[in-house]
């Protein structure tokens, strides 16, 4: 799928396909603890499911772009 990435998100992603939880917090104006709590409770952050790489939770940039646009995941 090719989702148009908003400029602010594109700048933070800097060409990467995955974002760290802290970066997701920046673009969604959400504290990291809130994101982690939501993941623990539901397995996702408003439908965006993270992957764990090297002990760190990361989200696909396309999923976060959809979340920012209000699209379903």
Q: Are 3 and 65 in contact (CB under 8 A)?
A: yes
Cα 50 from Cα 43, distance rounded (Å): 8
Domain ranges of the chain: 7-69
Residues of the chain under the 50 pLDDT cut: none
Task: Express each pLDDT in 37-47 by its tens digit.
Answer: 999 999 999 99
Domain 7-69 has CATH 1.10.1660: yes
Q: What is the pLDDT of residue 1?
A: 54
Whole-prediction pTM: 0.90
Cα 48 from Cα 1, distance rounded (Å): 15
């Amino acid at each position: 799928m090719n989702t148009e990435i908003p400029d602010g998100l594109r700048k933070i992603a800097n060409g990467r396909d995955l974002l760290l939880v802290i970066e997701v917090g920046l673009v969604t104006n959400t504290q990291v603890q809130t994101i982690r709590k939501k993941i623990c409770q539901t397995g996702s952050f408003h439908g965006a499911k993270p992957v764990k790489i090297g002990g760190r939770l990361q989200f696909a940039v396309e999923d976060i772009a959809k979340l920012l646009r209000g699209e379903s995941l």
